Copies of this chain bind each other. A is one copy, B any other.
Amino acid sequence: MSETVRLTPEEMTDLSLKVLTHVGYGPDHAQAIARMLTTCQMDDCQSHGLFRLFMCVQTMQAGKIDGHAQPQVASSGTAIVRVDAQGGMSLLAFQTGLPRLIEKARSHGIAAMAINRCFHFSALWPEVEALSAKGLAAMAMVPSHSWVAPAGGTRGSLGTNPLAFSWPRMGQDPFTFDFATSAFARGEIELYKRAGKPLPEGVAIDKDGNPTTDPQAALDGAMLTFGGYKGSALSIMIELLAGPLIDDLTSLESMEFAQGTGGAPYHGDIIIAFDPDQFSGGRRPANDARAERLFADILDQGARLPSQRRFAARARNTARGYAEIPAQLHRDLLALLD
């Protein structure tokens, strides 16, 4: 077993704040990012926890982000909340617009938040869980960079385009999922490359559009979506709703904007919130019971609900007051402060 370091939430937040302010994020952005990283790390979500500080640093070094941008919330009588992130990281924009989204979802029954002009590196489940924690159901979608080929295609047109959803459950962890519509995460391909292992069949094509199991050929070529033409259709929907619908970039445009500089992609983010009190016409307890019966039927047959492992990690880490991160990661993060 590899060496680990125990960090309390306060220590994670403190380390994150130090790294983020050191490289040029203002206090508001640093706080919003540190909170998200700590939330993910306490769920043992290694890929989106403190490890992502490297991407935050790279994004700042790429020179396009504004570490002090103040998000602007636009007010209107519609069910849409618009938050202009003004070229900053998405998290402060999300946090700034969230109270309005909750308010609008409760008054209109359904509402959407469009975050524009943001850099985005984070998991989507904390966004939808911020809403299910308030008793609302929520869906979130973002594009990324055009690394993913459409079904039947030969090159990247689509992003890894994650879809996240959360459903509030009385007195329990919510039903939440957050998955990329690409068959594999880009980071997973990197891990296969480092391990010198071939990829499974059906996850990537090379630069000539031919199927490949070679990680480097996949990185030079394109990834495929999960679920064949259905996953591809879903990915295109995410491009449209989180891009042109909300006046923001597609993954193709986001990739061009980056000009190969690396760091977090720059684009929009759409979050849709549903108020079960409004939708159920006042019969929420009976309908919550319906949903619970479905969950029970799934669990009863030995199947898992998505995120169960993450919630178990959260419970364990919260109870003991710390999470463990690899000692090497901890050393590498401290080195960022030099």
Contact = CB atoms under 8 A, between A and B. Distances in A.
A245 to B, nearest CB: 5
A325 to B, nearest CB: 26
Nearest to A80: B109
Contacts of A239: 294
A334 interface: no
Nearest to A74: B281
Contacts of A319: none
Contacts of A301: 149-150, 153-155, 157, 209
A278 B247 CA distance: 10
A287 interface: yes
- As for how many copies of this chain the complex holds, the number is 2
A247 B281 CA distance: 7
Contacts of A226: 227-228, 230-231
A246 B109 CA distance: 11
Given A110-B111, A157-B301, A240-B137, A245 B179 contact: no
A244 interface: yes
Contacts of A33: none
Nearest to A251: B294
Contacts of A197: none
B110 A236 contact: no
Interface stretch (A9-17, A39-47, A302-310): A302-310
Interface string A232-276: 011011011101111101101100000000000000000010101
